[in-house]
Structure 1
Amino acid sequence: MSVTPGGSESSLSQRLDALPFTKKHAKLLTGSGLGWALDAMDVGLISFIIAALTAHWGITAGEAGLIASIGFFGMAIGASLGGLLADRFGRRQVFAITLLVYGAATGASALVGGIAALLVLRFLVGLGLGAELPVASTYVSEFAPARIRGRLIVILEAFWAVGWTAAAIIGYFVVPSSEDGWRWAFALGAIPAVYAFIVRWALPESPRWLAGRGRTGEAERIVADFEASAGSVTVPDPERAEAPAVAAAPAAGAPAVAPVAVVAGSRLAGLWSREFRGRTLSIWVVWFCVNFAYYGAFIWIPSILVDAGFSLVRSFGFTLIITLAQLPGYAVAAWLIEKWGRRPTLSLFLVGSAASAVVFGTVHTEAAIIGAGMALSFFNLGAWGALYAVTPEIYPTSVRATGAGWAAGVGRIASIVAPLLVPVMLAGVGTAFTFAVFAAFFVIAAAATWGLVDRRGESLDDR
């Protein structure tokens, strides 16, 4: 079969899956990825800023944990609401608004004079940040051809490493440069407020969402633009021929079947219907455990190194080196996720994260700390890439952002608890036991992975 731009021989879903990777895909991935990187920069900066405020303001461990946790509390609410809003008003609209909210709040944080004001602004930052990540992964997954969808989402998640590396560079060079270095770091975090307007006007809305809302004309034009960018879609190349065939569907632009849910209440209830309850429980467990272990470890690594006797600048330097190991972790996950599938790749990286956490908690020399930290960074961020790839795929279009958002929201509950518990655990039972707890959470997440569905190479469910 040959499909020409605007042709009606197949559904919008089939036409999107039949496309090669085009310049428009690259623009969409880069545009969404830069927003993702800026998010990571904000989250990463707070770990360096907490260490700096401990030195300059003399804040207690409890206050430091509260600064970290209040942002994650906002993320939990933002992720849950963001998914619902994205299923109601569209992916692109919510994506842009969330960038604006957290970018403005981060910039304003540079002006605070005390803990109370900082806590309020960190909560607002969390609202925007929490909503953006699941919406962005849903957005990109709905454009990506089926045969490379997982790989593109892992690449999207890899922008997190870019942002976290930027945070580490700012943390190393800017935060310790003066007593007000942390203020300049926050000011740099205001960049997303400007970028939000670029996202709003430069990127298209998801045609799958538009078709599901009955706006088939708009959806048709967007898909036709992508087809035009490819020149035309003719006989599939050998790689494309390996993708499983999809069933015949109605005319272009028409949803294949009725949506699972159309209002907020039914969307939430739909996540726990007979069809989806098993995968919802599994994905919530994975998100909760990965968030607890990741944020419990990485938010506190700079402070742990300072407490171990390393200077502020030296501990930040170690953290920067450890962060660089995220990029190869994403690269390997992006390759494996289309070769092995979602569940094997995710569980492998989670088991690797568990082993690395145990080692990191028991080593003491500089070389061993860096090596174990790099392994933890490699496996943990590879796991994040696979997790963001699988989460939107397990739900149909009408509840996809809601499902991804609520999974992220449940995960954020763990990211609230972990920064508060870690200082208590470190003081009470030490670093080795604390990181053993993180390892246990990674193992539980690896087991829960096998309750998910694996849609490698399959078209998304457009109900």
Structure 2
Amino acid sequence: MGGQEQRVGDIVDEVPVGRFHWLVIAIVGGTWAAMAISILAISFTLPTFIERWTLSGFSAGVLGSASLLGMLAGNTVGGWYADRAGRKRTLVGSIVTFSTFTAATAFGVGVYSVVALRFLTGVGLGGALVAGTSYLAELIPSEVRGRYITYLEASYSVGAMVVVVFAWTVLSVLGAPDGRVVGVAAWRVFFAIGIAPIGLAVVVVRLLPRSPYFLARQGRTAAATEALETIAARAGGDLPAVSGPWRVADADDLGYRRLFEPELLGTTVLVASLWAVINLTFYGVFTWLPDTVAAAGYADNLYGFLFVVTVFQLVGQVSAAVLIEVIGRKWTLGGFTSLGGVGILLFAGAVPGAGIDFGASRTAVFLLGLFVMGFAVLGAWAVLYAYTSEIFPTEVRSTGLGFTGSIGKVAAVAGPVFFGTLTRFGYLVAFAPVAVSLVLAGVALFVWGSETKGQTLL
């Protein structure tokens, strides 16, 4: 095989799924769980900040959205950097960044310092999202790649469950009634825990190879070969001796301009639209979830209720992990997206005052719709990462993830404001537009989307 040009993807697909691949998903999945803790920390501490610093609604909104704005920058810059400096290097730097600034938030002295620290936390989170997804996609064989990337998103829901438990323990139990833990403000302890994931950066450096796709694209044949041999050896399988040269995309065919060339323009627009509507839904609906639940009369045990919602999210992601390899990415993503829209219409319509009379079934309809929405939207989000990482070619894989993810973060920032503005006209009025958008996005994918199931990465 020494002198004949080879495709990196063909070699990656020859490696039998083994312990190496489980190690990768455990490490990168651990990063996703840690990111969930960092992202959601503000949701549980925002009431404390509002009371402590007498924040206006606008100031509280800025504080709540600061990390999302940072993620917008991190998605864009991180995707660009990962396609130039490497997925592994970007992932390690991003883990260090978001862990450090999450913990540093514990030393915040006022709203401005916390906003700045949350923004910098978001930069690291955004970089980790795009680099981690590309990295995982390029180490996993085509036959299970979609499932593994979906497992990655399921790890986020595991982290969400952990942060609910942390919040209940640190803020509600240990921090009650004076809000202090061993003499330290409970919210400071809560953020200080965020330094723990920095250990994952050390694990990535020591145990995982660099992406052979990235190395081959740079023309580093020996390094790419070494990475492939490491993957095969650690997977526990046999692989013929490989030495390149490797056939990959041209190294100078890079940049955002590539995303808007005729070959990729339709894909870019479609995928960006999916990112926008799913982010708008998640950050808008879930930011207002406690308020919506209270309006519906089911807020007796908020922490317990939120924990059950995250369980349904995890079930949705695990279900998507199965379906993605059975019926394909396109049909799973489109189906879950459309189902999410139906779920939103159900629970919004069952909120008192919506003008729809469900009679004695109102409670059942509300809970059914809410759990269907959590199940479907998080399942769709999980598949969207897999689909995006496969639909763009290697030379702009992280850039494509970064750009479309950034469009999603713009929608995420707008979501809480959008819903907050419209809720005064009723929850159905606020939620109906995004529910319809989800259904239309799913239909658009059915009509114009391409299937990537089982395809070797280009």
Q: Do these two structures clear the TM 0.5 threshold for a shared fold by scoring above it?
A: yes
Deviation string for 1:81-138 (max 9, x for gaps)? 1011000000010001111111111111122232111111111111111111121111
Contact 1:45 1:168 survives alignment (8 Å): no
Alpha-carbon deviation of 1:36?
A: 0.9
Q: Map 1:190-201 to 2 at 5 A.
A: 190-201=195-206
**Distance in structure 1 (CA, Å) of the matches to 2:239 and 2:271:** 38
1:31 aligns with 2:27: yes
Indicate how the Cα distance of structure 1 residues 50 and 441 shifts in structure 2: closer, same or farther if over 3 A, else same: farther
Contact 2:53 2:110 survives alignment (8 Å): no
RCO (CA 8 Å, sep 6+): is it higher in 1 or 2?
Answer: 1
1:253 aligns with 2:244: yes
Alpha-carbon deviation of 1:292?
A: 0.6
Alpha-carbon deviation of 1:306?
A: 4.8
**Distance in structure 2 (CA, Å) of the matches to 1:373 and 1:458:** 35
Query: Which residue of structure 1 aligns with residue 341 of structure 2?
Result: 354
1:402 aligns with 2:402: no
Taking only aligned residues, the RMSD between alpha carbons, in angstroms, comes to: 2.4
Contact 1:19 1:230 survives alignment (8 Å): yes
Deviation string for 1:15-73 (max 9, x for gaps)? 11112211111111111110111111112222222244345554333222212222111
Query: Which residue of structure 1 aligns with residue 443 of structure 2?
Result: 447
Alpha-carbon deviation of 1:367?
A: 6.0
SS at match of 1:271: helix
**Distance in structure 1 (CA, Å) of the matches to 2:398 and 2:379:** 22
Q: Map 1:66-77 to 2 at 5 A.
A: 66-77=62-73
Q: Which amino acid aligns with 1:211?
A: A
Identical-pair percentage: 32
**Distance in structure 2 (CA, Å) of the matches to 1:68 and 1:60:** 12
SS at match of 1:276: helix
Alpha-carbon deviation of 1:262?
A: 2.6
Query: Which residue of structure 2 aligns with residue 271 of structure 1?
Result: 259
Structure 1 gaps of 5+ residues are 236-250
Alpha-carbon deviation of 1:185?
A: 1.9
1:302 aligns with 2:307: no
Contact 1:394 1:452 survives alignment (8 Å): no
Alpha-carbon deviation of 1:354?
A: 0.5
1:318 aligns with 2:305: yes
Contact 1:325 1:374 survives alignment (8 Å): yes
**Distance in structure 2 (CA, Å) of the matches to 1:59 and 1:268:** 39
SS at match of 2:247: coil
Deviation string for 1:217-276 (max 9, x for gaps)? 1111121122223444489xxxxxxxxxxxxxxx743332542x537xx42111111111
Query: Which residue of structure 2 aligns with residue 333 of structure 1?
Result: 320
Q: Map 1:214-233 to 2 at 5 A.
A: 214-233=219-238
Q: Which amino acid aligns with 1:293?
A: T
1:110 aligns with 2:97: no
Alpha-carbon deviation of 1:171?
A: 2.4
Q: Which amino acid aligns with 1:90?
A: G
Alpha-carbon deviation of 1:318?
A: 0.9
Contact 2:340 2:376 survives alignment (8 Å): yes
1:290 aligns with 2:271: no
Q: Which amino acid aligns with 2:58?
A: G
Could you state the TM-score of these two structures normalised by the residue count of structure 2?
Answer: 0.89
**Distance in structure 2 (CA, Å) of the matches to 1:87 and 1:217:** 19
Query: Which residue of structure 1 aligns with residue 373 of structure 2?
Result: 376
Could you state the TM-score of these two structures normalised by the residue count of structure 1?
Answer: 0.88
1:456 aligns with 2:453: yes
Contact 2:18 2:237 survives alignment (8 Å): no
**Distance in structure 1 (CA, Å) of the matches to 2:365 and 2:54:** 30
SS at match of 1:325: helix
Indicate how the Cα distance of structure 1 residues 441 and 185 shifts in structure 2: closer, same or farther if over 3 A, else same: farther
